Amino acid sequence: MKVTFCAYDRPGYVGGPNAGLRRLLPDLKKRGIEAEGLFLIFGEPAECRTIQALEKSGVPCSFTHYQDCTEKRVRWLLKQLKENPPDVFVPNLMPAAYFAARWAREAGIATVGVLRSVDRFHMDIIDEFVAGRPEFRLSAMVCVSDFLKQEVESRNIPLDAVVRIPSSAPVPEHKVRFDEKTLKIVYVGRFVEEAKRVTDIAKALCRAVGEVPGTEAVLYGDGIARPSVEKVLASQGNGLPVRLGGMVQPEAVQERMLENHVVVLLSDYEGMPLCLLEGMACGLVPVCLKTESGVPEIVEHGRTGIIVEDRGDDFVAALTRLRADASFFEKLSTGAREKIKQEYSREICAQKWQDLIERLAASGRGGHKPDVAVPLMLDLPPVRSGLSREDQRAAPFALASATVKGCFKTIGTGLGAAGKSLCKGLF
């Protein structure tokens, strides 16, 4: 039984979705499922950490450099599926792969989308590939939160399966303990303003360590907002125990987590934040703003963490109490760790994926090898605004020229060596 996941990779990239793949695919392999990866990459493959980590774990990966238009990406993906067809195809976060899923499904391959956030990108995935043109409809959808699952189900479109499978986190043997001297606070994530509000987090941490004695903070990560964060730390954090920790590879995140006591997430919205799962598995107490998706499912105020009303007074008050009350800290720390053990461990999440893959494969093509079509003309829906950052279509003239070339190549192949030579000369 084989499953193929799609993803992007580039030098230095350590985002949550790829960190999840670096755990999930080897876990599926250990369970007897032949897991593979199809990657569109930026930069040199030897510097693409996810590909290197997967192949080191025995998970084969095929890749090509990111082409300049969606149509080229779709064709490349279809060619890979034609040469090496899986039982289940997972487009993951790649619009071109969602389009390619149409022809994979027509060939008898089950197709599975993945929803990881509540942003416009993911809502357009639902609108296009669940509620859009029937021929582009997926077989199933995996949602990392109950909120996202309800979003899919609200469309009232029959799929083979709509399931909640969150991201997972390893549970270390030991958890953090309260420190009478210092309460250490950590943020781990992308340095971006949209959703994460990282500059506001930096300001909140500067204020907190300035007002709550015996606290210190560190921010791990990188992104386009890093200069803004550096500016905040240089001004509002000048002379305070708050610093940047740099980038951390996925396999080392929990090592850094275990050096701290509180994990902070003050985002406007999330899907199912991996940094919280990883931190809570270590016994860190999460302090978060409430979001529609993700946070309310794992952070129960006063039991597994603290939900604050703002990034100001209420945030500072939460840290003040954690710093002063060891028994309260230990209660939340233990509750957070148990929550991950019981519902979000690697074993639990891998089992859910295994159950879904086996279910879809069993209702699939009945043992016949699929013949995935690679059409000369791709009849794709119009570009949606939420997907446009990764869905760049070819200019009409370039598309027509490529199609004519493809036709002559096909004709030339049928005519033999002389035909190939003639048709090659025409272009």
CB 317 within 8 A of CB 311: no
Q: What per-residue confidence (pLDDT) applies to 16? A: 85
Same domain (yes/no): 331, 415: no
CA distance 283 to 264: 13
For residue 209, tell me if it sits in a domain. Answer: yes
- How buried is 220 (Cβ within 10 angstroms: 0-12 exposed, 13-18 middle, 19+ buried)? buried
Element (H, E) at 229: helix 226-235
For residue 176, tell me if it sits in a domain. Answer: no
In DSSP terms, which residues pair with 38 in a beta bridge? 6, 62
Same domain (yes/no): 253, 211: yes
By three-state DSSP, how is residue 241 classified?
coil
Q: Tell me the two tokens of residue 108.
A: 């008898």
Q: Tell me the two tokens of residue 307.
A: 């939900």
Same domain (yes/no): 62, 101: yes
Same domain (yes/no): 195, 335: yes
Q: Tell me the two tokens of residue 332.
A: 């939340």
For residue 178, tell me if it sits in a domain. Answer: no
**The dihedral formed by the CA atoms of 395, 398, 400 and 404, expressed in degrees to the nearest 10:** -170
Distances in Å between the Cα of 366 and the Cα atoms of 90, 110, 338 are 19, 12, 41
Neighbours of 243 (CB within 10 A): 13
Which residue in the block uniquely carries the two structure tokens 């069993």? 362
Q: What per-residue confidence (pLDDT) applies to 417? A: 55
Same domain (yes/no): 142, 220: no
Same domain (yes/no): 330, 219: yes
For residue 175, tell me if it sits in a domain. Answer: no
Indicate the number of domains in the chain.
Answer: 3
CB 252 within 8 A of CB 190: no
Domain that holds residue 10: 2-168+347-388
For residue 174, tell me if it sits in a domain. Answer: no
Q: What per-residue confidence (pLDDT) applies to 425? A: 42
Residues of the chain with pLDDT under 70: 364-368, 397-427
Same domain (yes/no): 329, 351: no
Same domain (yes/no): 27, 152: yes
Same domain (yes/no): 157, 48: yes
User: Which CATH number covers residue 150?
Assistant: 3.40.50.2000
Same domain (yes/no): 316, 266: yes
pTM of this prediction? 0.87
Same domain (yes/no): 289, 416: no
Q: What per-residue confidence (pLDDT) applies to 427? A: 38
Same domain (yes/no): 276, 330: yes
For residue 339, tell me if it sits in a domain. Answer: yes
